Chains A and B, each alone.
Chain A
Amino acid sequence: MTTLDSSKEIKKDNNDVSEHHEDFRIFGLITFLVADGMTFAGFFAAYLTYKAVNPLPDGAIYELELPIPTLNTILLLISSATFHKAGKSLQKNKNSDSQKWLIVTATLGIAFLICQIFEYFNLPFGLTDNLFASTFYALTGFHGLHVTLGTLMILIISWQTRSKGGRITNQNMFPLEAVELYWHFVDGIWVILFIILYLL
């Protein structure tokens, strides 16, 4: 849509410019995700520098168990696929299907968080034990915060995708698309985090 077309819809209230532009709202969201990604990039850079420069004190444990994070990676990857399904269903105007897929996605997100918390409780180190521990908790915690926010947003949009009286429809897909993009972004960050933190 072009600027002048949009201005036709403005009428007296110029506040609604953003309501009619799918394209640049997604564009804005992408810019925001780039910014968010840079925060993670900063954390990753700090972590890698620490690993290269600052040796851990003797006896510090920094080998991580792999089963839970691997399960978590699988959970998140599946959740990305289910979210994609939800979007496809909505495009075909099948609101109730879309809602189901969203609830599955949210459940996977919650499962991820439960696993993450379970891992925290079973780790041999605490937040302030050493530099590796602190960086580990900061990175996974900051990512967990993103997952928590994402899960909440998925629950909200799944309510709004309901067949009767829901705000999100075939015609107004922006909220769903936005959250989907965000969710894929959080997944992508997790994959990088998994590789850097657990595998390297």
Chain B
Amino acid sequence: MTISIDSQDSNTKSLQPKGWLRYLSFSLDHKVIGIQYLVCGFLFYLIGGTLASAIRIELASPMSDFMPRDVYNQVLTLHGTIMIFLWIVPVVNGAFGNYLIPFYVGARDMAFPRLNAVAFWLIPPSGLMLVASYFIEGAAQAGWTAYPPLSITTPQSGQIIWIMSVLLLGGSSIFGGINFIATIIKLRRPGLKLMQLPMYCWAMLGTSLLVVLSTPVLAGTLILLSFDIVAHTGFFNPVLGGNVVVYQHLFWFYSHPAVYIMVLPAFGLVSEILPVHSRKPLFGYTTMVFSIMGIVVLGLVVWAHHMFTSGTPPWMRLFFTIATAFIAVPTGIKFFNWVATLWGGKISINSAMLFSCGFIINFVFGGITGVALAQVPFDIHVHDTYFVVAHFHYIVYGGTVFIIFSSIYHWFPKVTGKLMSEKLGIIHFAITFIGFNLCFAPQHWLGLNGMPRRVAEYDPQFQFVNQISSIGALLMAISTIPFLINIFLSIKDGKNSGDNPWNALTPEWLTSSPPPVENWKGEAPLVEEPYGYGKPISKEN
């Protein structure tokens, strides 16, 4: 090694005094980029959350009285777009992926650090552009799905900015995906086999494959859509002989895998968190790997289940029903394996653990409604209703966002070297869990009984249930307060955590906390058993 320990330390120190400033720079350090993704994503989460609150305030009464109707449609479009493209996808892929993957493969950085920085710095401008479009001539108002012909006939400027913004974010996502694939496949430390990698690497490999294969199709589709809007071509405009359903096929070819782009990394993260806090090896490593790859393959061939009422031919409905329902099998395997991981452990009940278990319960619920929605006859009644809204919030909020919080509690000591307050963490969990279920569980009933989604006004008979839902949303909004207090207090004067507060065996904990600039003092350790709890390797620690 040419890097002596001294030079490394001085290197780190020379960067440390300016602390937070490097998070505003074009840094090439994967750890800095990871934090950039996380903080940037969280800021957009606050914006998207504010928009969600506005929607729930509007829906507390059956009339459209809180904001004008077209503004309501802009708000729901921005809410969906921001939460998906600027919060969940960048954070669960970009933030944790960038921070953890180089540690897990035993590298000093990602394969393409410059591409990595470019991928991150595409996000803030396109996000700001999207938000700013509201103040120009109004944001896009055709929903995050931007179905033509509505997206062609609504005011153009907002829709065009929306397309540009999503194209840039898609580009960022593709660059990230290329980087993760190259890092995991090509940058592994010598001696480290693929089947020894922590599960998050596998999840990110699967996710990145989906990103690389499906995001470009969305990009192409949106380019065609923008031609329809600007140049008056007729790809998706029935007045000019176009075909609306083609857009839906192409759109969902990306946007269904997008759901797996949002949840697979969460599956990976929870597979890291559960073994550490229950002091047991991850149950069924090999089946977990195969189930991830199974989800990737199946995830690419189920898109048309979003279109069961769009006049698709019967054979197509049948095929997509069966394929979709079969995703439940690999997903179910993962959930059984996680419960088996808990079984017989010595479980520390802390914030990270609680959020992970909350994730399991919420996601099982969302998964069950998902299998039901895959059945054509079932879907026909509830398609485009609040039942669907409730289902996917159970998946992306109850699933992925819970895991994002769990991961923040788990890796906060890694990033800062300080412990977070468990008391505030448990309060945060309790309010989030109750608020979330209060908000979204009643929406299943609303959808079954006749409330369509994306409406500003509804039948007065639904008012009471909608108000319960709005109270839940209020609790969810409140729940960010203890979280933010916890973050700031812990950064300011949290207890020193030491290098490895959880006695974890995954590689990122085998260096100092916070880690030095190039991750390892000396050679990267060879971790052959990242989940070797209860084995001699764990007892040595």
A200 within 8 A of B: no
Verify A45–B107 contact, CB threshold 8 A.
no
A43 within 8 A of B: yes
Residues of A within 8 A of B174 (CB): 32, 35
| Distance from B190 Cβ to chain A, minimum over Cβ atoms (Å) | 5
Could you write out 30 A-B pairs with CB less than 8 Å apart?
Answer: A2-B190, A3-B108, A3-B189, A3-B190, A8-B1, A8-B2, A12-B7, A15-B28, A15-B113, A28-B111, A31-B177, A31-B212, A32-B178, A34-B213, A37-B216, A38-B212, A39-B220, A40-B220, A42-B216, A42-B253, A43-B220, A43-B224, A46-B235, A49-B246, A50-B246, A128-B233, A130-B241, A131-B234, A131-B241, A138-B224
**Besides A42-B221, A43-B220, A46-B235, 20 other A-B contacts (C-beta < 8 A):** A2-B190, A3-B524, A7-B3, A9-B2, A10-B108, A17-B111, A21-B111, A27-B186, A36-B216, A38-B213, A39-B219, A46-B220, A49-B246, A128-B234, A130-B234, A131-B234, A131-B243, A134-B227, A138-B227, A142-B223
Residues of B within 8 A of A3 (CB): 105-108, 187-190, 524
| Distance from A88 Cβ to chain B, minimum over Cβ atoms (Å) | 26
Residues of A within 8 A of B233 (CB): 127-128, 134, 138
- Residue in B closest to A49 when the chains form the complex, CB atoms: B246
A28 to B187, CA, bound (A): 12
Report if A35-B178 is in contact (Cβ < 8 Å); known contacts: A3-B188, A15-B28, A46-B235.
yes
A151 to B212, CA, bound (A): 25
Segment at the interface with B among A53-61, A110-118, A168-176: A53-61
B144 within 8 A of A: no
B272 within 8 A of A: no
Interface size on A, residues (CB 8 A): 47
Interface size on B, residues (CB 8 A): 58
A31 to B106, CA, bound (A): 22
Query: Residues of B at under 8 Å CB distance from A?
Result: 1-3, 7, 11, 28-29, 105-109, 111-115, 174, 177-179, 181-182, 185-190, 212-217, 219-221, 223-224, 227, 231-235, 240-243, 246, 249-250, 253, 517-518, 523-524
A131 to B114, CA, bound (A): 41
Residues of B within 8 A of A93 (CB): none
Residues of B within 8 A of A46 (CB): 220-221, 224, 235, 246, 250
Verify A128–B111 contact, CB threshold 8 A.
no
Report if A128-B212 is in contact (Cβ < 8 Å); known contacts: A15-B28, A46-B250, A54-B243.
no
